[in-house]
């Protein structure tokens, strides 16, 4: 799937036509996601009725596996691609709706603890990735993109930084490919590590939110562990996302000072432009829930809508991951990304263990 690493192209298309082009892919996302849900419900029952020992596989993993199977065998036909690319839209809508499951006080308490960990994680990740980039002699702007991608929030951060520092399309593709490939690996390794270390739902959720780079993969890695871990992974990752503007601004100023990027005119406007608006939506819904604008049944309905939105996202994670396309991007950026991610994962695990003792998670 070539668009796994391609940068978005803006084409002048009429809005109605653009909307119609999304429908086949969105239906594919819904079909794959729903198939994952049906498999979760029925495979366990079938295995039990035949006295087979079969692990209980959650819908999240089924949806991702079906998506991966389609993407890596028959591929995604052109007609579905625009709609499949909407998985990030569903992710963001799902995160906003998830805000109804948090009281604002809890968000501030959990978000405050997460924020301290996130700031440490970002500083260490940027420093270490920059060092690795120099050791492996990667191009400086590619190193910047990998550092931002692994420190803040994956693909969105890389695209935001690319524009701000005038990086090459090729460098962005390398960085995005490395982050996506490592995110796919994290989906399968993180739950295994979490279970083997007997991490609590809270600790595991915070760890996933801190260490998995792309928001969709962080949400999926958390949900693969438990519902609570999924909620906390999204909250921690959202805290990380909220800092994207500051990191991109710092890099934009750095590259502009070297005459290799446009200087930033209005810094406040720059920060607002880069700030992920869905974070505000999440906080506002959480505030409304805290003010009891919604009753208990309505909160359940909103939580379920959030789950449906995430279901489309998880299907999209599998459908847009094509290992052959990712492998084509070369070994060195992947090696830098992989070494960096392993170190960041171990470091953040240590942070989480420390925080667990302080906050009694």
Partner 1 sequence: MSKTNGEAVGVPQRRGLSLDGWAVLLAFALAALVRAGVFKHIPW
| C-beta closer to partner 1: residue 123 or 257 | 257
Q: Is residue 18 at the binding interface for partner 1, with CB under 8 A as the rule?
A: no
Vertex 140: Cα angle to 184 and 176 (nearest 5): 20
DSSP annotation of 234? H
Least separation in angstroms between residue 122's CB and partner 1 is 21
For residues 108 and 252, what is the distance between their CA atoms, to the nearest angstrom? Answer: 30
Neighbours of 15 (CB within 10 A): 7
Among 297, 331, 358, 360, binds partner 1 (CB under 8 A): 297
Least separation in angstroms between residue 6's CB and partner 1 is 17
What are the phi and psi torsion angles at 137 (to 5°)?
55, 45
Q: Is 16 exposed, middle or buried (0-12, 13-18, 19+ CB in 10 A)?
A: exposed
Tell me which residues in 40-99 interact with partner 1 (CB under 8 A): 88-93, 96-97
| C-beta closer to partner 1: residue 19 or 188 | 19
Least separation in angstroms between residue 318's CB and partner 1 is 20
| C-beta closer to partner 1: residue 308 or 347 | 308
> Mask: binding to partner 1, 221-250, rule CB under 8 A, as x and -?
------------------------------
CA separation, residue 240 to residues 121, 122, 244, 274, 327 (Å): 9, 8, 7, 13, 28
Least separation in angstroms between residue 89's CB and partner 1 is 5
Q: Is residue 259 at the binding interface for partner 1, with CB under 8 A as the rule?
A: yes
3-state secondary structure 180-214: HHHHHHHHHHHHHHHHHCCCCHHHHHHHHHHHCCC
Question: Could you list the residues that contact partner 1 (CB under 8 A)?
Answer: 88-93, 96-97, 100, 139, 141, 166-168, 256-257, 259-266, 269-270, 273, 276-278, 280-281, 284-285, 288, 293-294, 297-298, 300-302, 304-305, 307-308
């Amino acid at each position: 799937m070539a668009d796994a690493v391609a940068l978005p192209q803006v084409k002048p298309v009429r809005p109605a036509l653009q909307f119609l082009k999304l429908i086949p892919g969105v239906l594919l996302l819904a079909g794959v996601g729903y198939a994952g849900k049906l498999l979760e419900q029925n495979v366990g029952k079938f295995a039990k009725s035949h006295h087979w020992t079969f692990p209980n596989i959650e819908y999240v993993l089924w949806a991702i596996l079906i998506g991966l199977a389609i993407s890596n065998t028959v591929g995604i036909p052109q007609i579905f691609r625009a709609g499949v690319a909407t998985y990030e839209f569903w992710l963001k809508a799902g995160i906003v709706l998830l805000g109804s499951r948090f009281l604002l006080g809890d968000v501030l308490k959990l978000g405050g603890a997460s924020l301290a960990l996130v700031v440490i994680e970002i500083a260490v990740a940027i420093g270490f990735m920059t060092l690795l980039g120099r050791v492996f002699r990667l191009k400086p702007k590619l190193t910047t993109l990998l550092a931002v991608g692994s420190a803040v929030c994956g693909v969105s951060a890389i695209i935001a930084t690319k524009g701000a520092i005038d990086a090459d399309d090729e460098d962005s593709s390398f960085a995005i490919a490395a982050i996506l490939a490592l995110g796919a690996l994290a989906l399968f390794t993180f739950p295994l590590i979490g279970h083997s270390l007997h991490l609590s739902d809270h600790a595991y959720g915070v760890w996933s939110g801190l260490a998995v780079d792309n928001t969709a993969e962080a949400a999926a890695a958390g949900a693969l562990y438990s519902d609570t871990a999924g909620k906390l992974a999204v909250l921690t990752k959202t805290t990380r996302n909220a800092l994207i503007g500051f990191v991109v601004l710092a890099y934009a100023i750095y590259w502009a000072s070297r005459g290799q990027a446009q200087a930033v005119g209005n810094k406040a406007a720059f920060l607002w432009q880069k700030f992920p608006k869905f974070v505000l939506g999440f906080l506002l819904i959480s505030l409304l829930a805290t003010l009891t604008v919604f009753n208990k049944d309505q909160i359940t309905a909103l939580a379920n809508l959030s789950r449906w939105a995430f279901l489309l996202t998880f299907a999209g994670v599998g459908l847009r991951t094509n290992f052959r396309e990712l492998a084509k991007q070369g070994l060195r950026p992947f090696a830098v990304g992989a070494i960096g991610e392993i170190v960041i994962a171990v470091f953040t695990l240590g942070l989480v263990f420390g925080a667990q003792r302080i906050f009694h998670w």
